[in-house]
Amino acid sequence: MNITYACVLIAGLTPLIAVTIAKWKLSGYDNNNPREWMAKQTGFRARAYAAHQNCFESFPFFAVAVIMAMMAGVEANPLDLCSVIYVAARLFYILCYVKDLATARSIFWVVGYASVIALFVLGFQVVA
């Protein structure tokens, strides 16, 4: 379970990872109006910020799946495996987004999403 807990923490930090890339070595950054500044960005900064937003969108689904799987009594090994797959997929998703590798990014998105669905399915199997 410690692996799963660590994965939830890392997944919760992925938005920070992505936005750090978006704001790395800033020039002309306006902390009084950061969203307006970000909206003007292009290239890898804009893509990293889009990944940042997607990380926020993805995290609740993963966190709920982990909680429900734990409450259902899913064994540690499959829970850990699905969690590691999710986190790895999300990290590669960010990398692909920043590098503008759209097809690979979509594949990693699907892998991450599938790992979350697997957590729900594992929970359903234990309860049934």
Q: CATH code at 7?
A: 1.20.120.550
16-26: pLDDT as tens digits: 999 999 988 77
Chain CA centroid to CA 38, Å: 20
Instruction: Give the model's pLDDT for residue 34.
Output: 84
> Does the predicted model carry a pTM greater than 0.85?
yes
Instruction: Provide the residue range defining the domain that includes 55.
Output: 2-127
Residue 1 has pLDDT above 70, yes or no: no
Average pLDDT over residues 64-71: 97
Instruction: Give the model's pLDDT for residue 101.
Output: 98
DSSP result, 19-86: HHHHHTT-SS--TTSHHHHHHT--HHHHHHHHHHHHHHHHHHHHHHHHHHHHHHT--HHHHHHHHHHH
Is 101 strand, coil or helix?
coil
Instruction: Give the model's pLDDT for residue 23.
Output: 87
Tokens of 30: 């306006």
The answer to whether the CB of 108 falls within 8 A of the CB of 93 is: yes
- Count CA atoms within 13 Å of residue 98 on its CB side: 18
Domains identified in the chain, total number? 1
Chain CA centroid to CA 36, Å: 24
Instruction: Give the model's pLDDT for residue 107.
Output: 98
